[in-house]
Structure 1
Amino acid sequence: MPKWADVLLVPILSLIIAFALSALVILAIGEDPVRAMRLMITGALGSTYGWGYTLYFTTNFLLTGLGVSIAFQARLFNIGGEGQALIGGLGVALVCLFIPWPHWSLAIIAAIAASAIFGAVWAAIPAYLQAKRGSHIVITTIMFNFIAFSLMNYMLSHVLRPPTSMDPATARFDNVLRLPRLHDILAPMGIDFSRAGPANVMLFVALLACVLAYFLMWRTRLGFEIRAFGKSEPAAHYAGISGVKIIMVAMLISGALSGMMAVNSVMGGPQRLVMNAVEGAGFIGIAVALMGRSHPIGIIAPALLFGFLFQGGSELALETTIPREMIIIIQALVIMFTGALDNMVRTPLETLFALMRRRT
């Protein structure tokens, strides 16, 4: 099958099937699927307010999807992005609460470093268990999600919660640490953008991370070793590539990227660390990486798609009787057809292209 068909045609057909089944479900509960899609498009893309939220969610999915894709390249199924992002948020909160920063530009550098370190450390433990003890990375990373949630619950309820508050959350950060939003960035250029949209400077950091990850994976020796190990572990060992080193490095990078997501959801969102700061972005990152074929540039479009689904789904729940959970069903169908059932679309296409080649 041609490369363009693998990259474009397979995901597009998978999405069409997923959306068609979603339309049938919406129709079954008594709503108009055409009107529902129109409301989603208008709510997510029809105004700068909608774009502000869509790009905010996209930023989260770019970083978690990028983290998962790096691990995928080494054939490591890192399901711990949720926990790594939670622990990354703890690093962001500690940096913002206990260090008096004079300006947001210094704080964001420290927050990115802290979140990356905290996320990488949290990923390093399952990586070590895989590399040295043979523990399966899927099992250990998903269990570490629960440990991270319990640790976060304790920290927010007993350690970082202000004495006068009953809410399991930290105090609000100083106003000087507020990240510039797209309105602040685009206003000097004469572009009018909604003040309410939470999309902020972390969007550009996430896009830069995608570009840097591309150069790391396809233009450096380390990237070649990671990809070689992912393609064939025995061949990589024969070539002198250390499996322990690749597992540790790939998971450290993956955890760091997932942890960085917390800068957007903590500093760029509520300006404090709350229990649901990650909002499932660690798991959505798996679908983003699958749809993007684990390519640092390829994940941009799937991240935008899921950003659209999140924001459009919120608007849909407000304007119709369709519950918010319906959007979760749509997301599940997208994940199912682009991930688990990928071969259901791929195999017939490969057969079709093979027949076309024989005829020519």
Structure 2
Amino acid sequence: MSNRMKNIVVPLVAVLLGIIVGTIIMIAAGYNAGAAFIALWNGAFGEIYYTGEVIRQVTPLILAGLAVAFAFRTGLFNIGVEGQLIVGWLAAVWVGVAFELPKFIHLPLAVLAAAAAGALWAFIPGLLKAKFKVHEVIVTIMMNYVALHVSNYIIRTVLSEKSDRTEMIADSASLRSPFLEGLTDYSRLHWGILIALACVFIMWFLLEKTSKGYELRAVGFNQHASEYAGMSVSKNIILSMVISGAFAGLAGAMEALGTFGYAAIKGGFTGVGFDGIAVALLGGNGPIGIIFAALLFGSLKVGALNMPLEAGVPNELVDIIIALIVFFVAASYMIRIFIDRISKKGVK
């Protein structure tokens, strides 16, 4: 079996194993697994409203997955997508609240502000990695907490009068659309899905079709050889983190300008940035794979809300299934060995 085929089969096997083990856990806990999965499907695709909510959920997951995958493809581990998403969310809301502009200026400005905020937040660990060899995993994890608490402080003291949330953004900065809402029975679906798909193309084109993308991948693959070839390792490390952070900031813009329309005090992390790690892993860090992985995760998360209502099954079981899928993806080395053995037996 070719490596390309293995890259497709391994995530599929991981998903299948996660569902199988999750089903066993459901049955062992005394729940009706069949009814649970039917309720899950109905909660995701049973009505056009739920389908709209799935696409809405998929949108930031795609962008968070791209953020993680872009850094990984260039030899870096950006675990700070959650923090970059939060500052992007805050920046988008600030622009959406503070200015009164025509929509064709206001909306792009708010989206770009979110991307710039995420990029700036990722620039710091990139700089520390490039100049002082500080490992980006430690810095990005710590900056998640800084982003959370600084954002909460700004919301409470700058963007609102000692309130737990800001004003709603102006309509001219909103991604919401009466057309899409009416089409999906008034779900929260918005035009952000087009931005997410455009970013999928941008990542593919940048990494695969440009000399700068080749340079970024080369630095990630072997820094010493790249430096010997005349490439600036430091500049490329910083650029990789900045682009990754921009994708994460855009994920925050989807929540700020589309789903919610405001920023509120957060008692904890949104989880979207961390889900992006799982999406990137399951998608094999490839743009197309990330779309399908985000669709799976979005369907599971939205559909899970219907499980307690229709089947009496706690939706936390879906979190267990997602965790099992991630586990089997992380253990893909074992799956590859199993596939190789089957392939060799088939050849004989």
Give 2:218's aligned residue.
Answer: 228
Is the CA contact (8 Å cut-off) linking 2:35 and 2:311 kept in structure 1?
Answer: no
Amino acid at match of 2:66: L
* Residue in structure 1 matched with residue 166 of structure 2 by the alignment: 170
Q: How far apart are the structure 2 equivalents of 1:185 and 1:344? A: 44
AA in 1 matched with 2:246? A
Amino acid at match of 2:85: A
Q: Which of 237, 262, 266 is equivalent to 1:247?
A: 237
Structure 1 contact 162–171 (Cα < 8 Å) conserved:
no
C-alpha distance in 2 between matches for 1:299 and 1:69 = 9
Alpha-carbon contact 2:92-2:110 (below 8 Å) kept: yes
Structure 1 residue 152, shift from structure 2 partner: 1.4
Partner of residue 26, structure 1: 26
Code of the residue aligned with 2:68 in structure 1: it is: V
Aligned equivalent of 1:144: 143
Give yes or no for contact 1:71–1:251 (8 Å, CA) kept in 2: yes
Q: Is 2:202 the counterpart of 1:212?
A: yes
Change (3 A) 1:177 1:114: closer
Structure 1 residues 66 and 83: alpha-carbon distance in aligned structure 2, compared to 1, 3 A threshold: same
The Cα offsets for residues 179-213 of structure 1, whole Å up to 9 and x where unpaired, read as: 244x6159xxxxx7224211211101100110111
1:153 deviation in Å? 1.6
Matches for 1:1-360 after TM superposition, within 5 Å: 1-103=1-103, 105-162=104-161, 165=163, 168-181=164-177, 184-185=179-180, 193-276=183-266, 279-338=270-329, 340-357=330-347, 359=348
Between the two proteins, what is the percent identity of the paired residues?
Answer: 33
Q: CA deviation at 1:278?
A: 6.8
Please report the RMSD computed on the Cα atoms of aligned residues, expressed in angstroms.
1.9
Tell me the matched-pair count: 347
With over 3 angstroms needed to count, the CA separation of the structure-2 counterparts of 1:4 and 1:45, relative to structure 1, is farther
CA contact (8 A) 1:67 1:255 kept: yes
Contact 2:148 2:269 survives alignment (8 Å): no
Distance in 1 of aligned mates of 2:76 and 2:221: 11
Distance 1:176 1:228, change over 3 A: closer
The Cα shift of 1:33 comes to 0.9
SS at match of 1:79: coil
CA drift at 1:314: 1.5
Judged with a 3 Å threshold, the aligned counterparts in structure 2 of structure 1 residues 278 and 210 are, in CA distance, closer, same or farther, namely farther
One-letter amino acid of the structure 1 residue matched with residue 245 of structure 2:
G
Q: Distance in 1 between matches of 2:322 and 2:345?
A: 34
Q: Which moved more, 1:224-233 or 1:50-59?
A: 224-233
Structure 1 residues 75, 354: closer, same or farther in 2, change over 3 A? farther
Deviations 1:286-339 (A, max 9, x none): 11111111112221100111110110111223334333322222221111111x
8 A contact 2:56–2:193 mirrored in 1:
yes
Cα distance, 1:176 vs. partner? 4.2
Q: Any conservation in 2 of the 1:85–1:278 contact (CA below 8 Å)?
A: no
Mapped contact 2:78–2:136 kept (Cα < 8 A): yes
Residue 313 of structure 2 aligns to a residue in which SS? coil
**Which residue in 2 is equivalent to 1:189?**
none
Structure 2 stretches lacking a partner, 5+ long: none
Preserved contact between residue 156 and residue 265 of structure 2 (Cα < 8 Å): no
Q: TM-score of the superposition, structure 2-length normalised?
A: 0.94
CA contact (8 A) 1:22 1:333 kept: yes
Where 2:306 maps in the other structure, the secondary structure is helix
Amino acid at match of 1:106: I
- Which range moves more in the overlay, 345-354 or 48-57? 345-354
1:275 CA displacement: 3.6
SS in 2 for 1:298: helix
String of CA shifts for 1:237-287, please: whole Å, max 9, x gaps: 222222211210110000000000112111111211124597311011111
Letter in 2 for 1:160: L
The alpha-carbon deviation at position 230 of structure 1 amounts to 2.2
Letter in 2 for 1:352: I
Instruction: Kindly provide the amino acid, as one letter, of the partner of residue 237 in structure 2.
Output: I
SS at match of 1:269: helix
Amino acid in the other structure paired with 1:312: G
Kept after mapping to 1: 8 A contact 2:207/2:214:
yes
Q: Secondary structure at the match of 1:216?
A: helix
Distance 1:50-1:297 versus aligned 2 partners, 3 A rule = same
- Looking at structure 2, the residues matched to 68 and 228 of structure 1 have their Cα atoms a distance apart, in angstroms, of 18
AA partner of residue 230 (structure 1) = G
